[in-house]
Amino acid sequence: MLGKRNILITGATSGIGKSLASFLVRDTNICVYGIGRSEEKIQDLLGFENFKFLKFDLFDVGDIENLFKSALDTVKFDGFVHCAGLEETLPISLYTYDRILQIFTLNVFSAIEILRNLSKKKYSVDGASFVLLSSVMGELGQPGKVGYCASKSALLGLTRSLALELTKRKIRVNSISPGIVNTPLTRKLFEQIEEDNRKRIVEMHPAGIGESEDVVYLIDYLLSDHSKWVTGQNIKIDGGYSIQ
């Protein structure tokens, strides 16, 4: 790849997003724009000249357009990765409208609004690559995961349609579906369940649970020109979890 690439990452302050940002900044030909609510957890990243922190709460979907107009006015992106998301366990009887709106706002609506802006020629180059983090739970079901599964599944539908809309500009849109990865989101999930259950979940991953780096290498491939013929896809990366 020639020239500098600008990559926008949501959820840059934790888990996979943070690992991805940390990986990409090592390439001085990449300028990483990381969106997060607090710079507290990424002090090490702030020292990089090619890392720009955008302090922003993605729940404020209505302000995303202003974020582009104010902080990103002269930036044309080569890549976007939506790592921000929340996970929760709630039976259907407790999924009030407010509750479901919350998980959809962060997991889906913020991504759509970013993509609405990013898809303009002003903010993206031809040949750009957009990656959305879904989950194996986007295609599998589980009790207590109506919100999470529905929101992760929504990203898959979005991927397919948007991929077709943007092929004229050679922009690729893909999803990846990780299994259980060792991140703060997973650690929080594990705290909620009993030890036997935790062990069972780990054992259900034939190749063990994943590390952020495992997922980062796949995202790196999708962001690069090496994957220029890959679009509208959902790639599962789960240690064999979903094939059983």
Q: In angstroms, what is the minimal distance from the CB of 209 to other proteins?
A: 17
DSSP state of 232: S
DSSP for 183-216, written as a single string: SHHHHHHHHHS-HHHHHHHHHTSTT--B-HHHHH
Query: Does 144 help bind other proteins (rule: CB under 8 A)?
Result: yes
Q: Is 234 in the site for other proteins (CB under 8 A)?
A: no
195 binds other proteins (CB under 8 A): yes
Q: How far is the CB of 242 from other proteins (least distance, A)?
A: 22
Between 194 and 225, name the residue whose CB sits nearer to other proteins. Answer: 194
Residue tagged active-site, from 148, 217, 221, 241: 148
Least distance from C-beta 33 to other proteins, angstroms?
33
| Closer residue to other proteins in complex, CB, 164/193 | 193
Closest CA to 17 of 65, 58, 73, 47: 58
b/e code 92-125 from CB counts within 10 Å (16+ = b):
eeebeeeebeebebbbbbbbbbbbebbbeeebbb
Whether 97 sits among the annotated catalytic residues: the reply is no
Please identify every residue annotated as catalytic. Answer: 148
Residues that bind other proteins (CB under 8 A): 89-91, 93-94, 143-144, 191-195, 197-198
